[in-house]
Structure 1
Amino acid sequence: MRLASIHFYPVKSTAGHEIHEAEVQPWGLADDRRYLITDERGEVLTAREQPLLLACVARVDGGTLTLTGPHAAPLRVTPDDTMSTVLVGRTPVELTDCGDDAARWLSELAGRPVRLKWLDDPTRRPVNPDHGRPEDRVSLADGYPLLLTSTASLAQLNDWIVEGAQERGEEAPKPLPMHRFRPNVVIDGVGTPFAEDEWKRVRIGAVDFRVSKGCDRCVLTTVDTATYTKGKEPIRTLSKHRKWDGKVWFGINLIPDGPGRIATGDSITLL
C-alpha cells in the first residue's frame, strides 16, 4: 500500500488543495482548517448550508491567507485582535476575527452576512474524549486531525452507484471523485474495499497514527463542486450498503502519535 495523494483545506468548507508532501502536526496537517466562516448568529457556516463557499479558493503563503473567488478580486486577509467564542462541534473555542474586508468579501460570495475566524492557537480545541486521549488536539476539522480514504473503497462505492442506477432503469452516472469526501490522505493498493474499517493503527512513511473511529458522512458529500448543487449520491447508496448506528460511513479518522512529514508515494504499514 502507498500514499496516493495528500489534501488540505485552509478554510473549513472551501476548496481544497492537493500537495505532494505535508508536515503532520499534533492537530492535523500544517495549515489545514485553521480558519472557518460564521453566519449572522455567530454560528459555524459550512458548505452543507451554503455550497457556494466551495467556490472560494484559500491559499496560505508565509502565514498570509489570500482568498480568491469568482465574484471579486483576490483578498489578502489580516486578522485583527478581536476574539469571540464559537461553538465548533460541541466545544466552545476562542477564535480571532479576520476583519471587515474579509467579512465583506465572503458575505458577497455567500449572499448573506458572514465573518471569517482564525484559530491562532491550535492547542485550544480538544478531540472528542470518547475517541481520543486527554492530550489530543484538533484544529477546525469536524472532529479529528486527519481523514483517510482508500481508492479501493471509492471504486466499490462507484460500482454500487452504477448498479443502483441500472436497477432503477436510469443512465449510469459518472464516477464520483474522491474530493467529494474531502480526505487528507488517500491510500492506494488496499486489497479489499473498506478494509480500513478494521484498522487500529497505521504508519504513513515514518509517522504513526491511531485510528480514532470511522467517519460518518453528511450531505456535504452530495454537493457537485462544478455546479454547487446537491444530488442524492453518495448518501443514497451509502444508506443501502454502509449504514449502521443510524449513520452512513466512508473513511476513517486519524490522530497522529507525533509530528513528522509525509509525502506522496510513502509506504503504508499497519501496526
Structure 2
Amino acid sequence: MKIAQLNVYPVKSLAGIHLEKATLGTRGLALDRNWMVVDQVGRFVTQRQLPGMARVSVRLANDWLVLEHPEAEPLAIELARRDQPRLIAYVWDDTCQALDEGEEAAAWLTRVLGDLRGSNLRLVRFDDQHLRPVEPRYLQGEEAHTAFADGYPFLIASQSSLDALNQRLEDKGLVPLPMNRFRPNIVVEGSQAFAEDGWHELTARNGAYRFGLRKPCQRCKITTIDQASGCIDVPGEPLRTLVEMKTQPLRPGAYFGQNATLLGGEECVLAVGDELDAS
C-alpha cells in the first residue's frame, strides 16, 4: 500500500492544494486549516453555509498565502506575520485563539462570497500559541491537537473506497465523483475498499512516521458540492448512497474516511509514493 495523494487546505473550506511532499506536525500537515473564514461574531463559516467558497482557490507563493477568485484581484497574506489583533473564534463547540487578518481580507472575502445572513466575513489565522485538543474519548493514550479542522489533525481516505462508491453511483446512472468531494489530507491506494475502517494504525514502511486512526468520518453536505463550480448538481448524493452502503453498520449516517492523529514522526516529510503498512 502507498500514498497516492497529499492535500493541504490552508483556509478551512476553501480549495485545497495538491502536494508531492508535506511536513508532518501534531496539528496536521504544515499549514493545513491554519486560516478560517468567520462571521462578525467569530463563528466559523464553511461551504455548508456558502457553497461558493469552493471557488476560492489557494496557493502558496514564496512567503505569501494567495487567495484567488474569478471575479477579484488576488489577495495576498504574509505567512510569517504574527502581530495581528487577537480575537476569539469558534469551531463547533470549541473556543480558539485567533489572529485577525484585517480589513482588506475581510472586504475581499465579503466581496467575492457575499455576506452571511447580514454578517460580513473575516479571515482569521490560528494562534500558534494556542492548543486545541482533540476530543479525548476517541484517543488511545496519545495527546493530539488540531488547528481549525473540524476535529482532527488528519483525514485519511482510500482510493479503492472511492472506486467502490463510484461503482454504486454509476449503477444508479449517476456521474462518478472525484476524491476532492471528501477533502482528505492523505489518500492511500492498494488496499481493499473500506479496509481503513478496520485499521488502528498506519505506519511508514521505513518507520519514519505513524498515524492512529481514531474515528470514522461522518460526512456532511459539503460532499454534495462540486468543488470546481460550487454548485450542487445532484442534491443528497453521495450521502444517500453512502448510507445505503452501510460502511459503518453500527452507526447511523454516511461515513467515508478516517480521522487520524500523529503517533510519531513530527517534522518528518512524507511524500506521494511512500509505502505504508496498516495494522
TM-score by length of 2: 0.89
> Which residue in the other structure is 1:261 paired with?
269
Equivalent position SS for 1:236: helix
Question: How far apart are the structure 1 equivalents of 2:64 and 2:96?
Answer: 22
> Which residue in the other structure is 1:162 paired with?
170
- Are the aligned partners of 2:203 and 2:209 in contact in 1 as well (CA < 8 Å)? yes
- Are the aligned partners of 2:13 and 2:47 in contact in 1 as well (CA < 8 Å)? yes
> Which residue in the other structure is 2:226 paired with?
224
**Greater CA deviation, 103-112 or 220-229?**
220-229
Question: How far apart are the structure 1 equivalents of 2:214 and 2:182?
Answer: 18
Question: How far apart are the structure 2 equivalents of 1:250 and 1:29?
Answer: 20
Give the share of equivalent positions with the same residue, in percent: 36
What amino acid sits opposite 1:240 in the alignment? Answer: E
Where does structure 1 lack aligned partners over 5 or more consecutive residues? 166-171
Question: How far apart are the structure 1 equivalents of 2:36 and 2:75?
Answer: 16
Check 1:28–1:100 CA distance in 2 against 1; reply closer, same or farther (3 A cut).
same
What amino acid sits opposite 2:35 in the alignment? Answer: Y
> Which residue in the other structure is 1:168 paired with?
none
Establish whether residue 173 from structure 1 lines up as the match of residue 138 from structure 2: no
- Are the aligned partners of 2:155 and 2:258 in contact in 1 as well (CA < 8 Å)? yes
Aligned positions of 1:25-104 closer than 5 A? 25-78=25-78, 81-104=84-107
**Residue 121 (structure 2) aligned to one of 108, 114, 123:** 114
- Are the aligned partners of 2:197 and 2:216 in contact in 1 as well (CA < 8 Å)? yes
> Which residue in the other structure is 2:143 paired with?
135
What amino acid sits opposite 2:113 in the alignment? Answer: A
> Which residue in the other structure is 1:234 paired with?
238
Aligned positions of 1:143-162 closer than 5 A? 143-162=151-170
> Which residue in the other structure is 1:184 paired with?
185
| Deviation of 1:32 (Å) | 0.6
Equivalent position SS for 1:45: coil
Question: How far apart are the structure 2 equivalents of 1:127 and 1:81?
Answer: 26
- Are the aligned partners of 2:169 and 2:175 in contact in 1 as well (CA < 8 Å)? no
The superposition leaves residues 61-86 of structure 1 with CA deviations (integer Å, 9 ceiling, x where unpaired) of: 44432211112111112565211111
| Deviation of 1:245 (Å) | 2.7
> Which residue in the other structure is 2:201 paired with?
201
**Greater CA deviation, 24-33 or 252-261?**
252-261
* Cα RMSD for the two superposed structures: 1.7
User: How many positions carry a matched residue from both structures?
Assistant: 263
Structure 1 runs of 4+ with >4 Å offset: none
TM-score by length of 1: 0.92
- Are the aligned partners of 1:122 and 1:137 in contact in 2 as well (CA < 8 Å)? no
| Deviation of 1:236 (Å) | 1.1
**Residue 251 (structure 2) aligned to one of 230, 237, 245:** 245
Question: How far apart are the structure 2 equivalents of 1:228 and 1:44?
Answer: 18
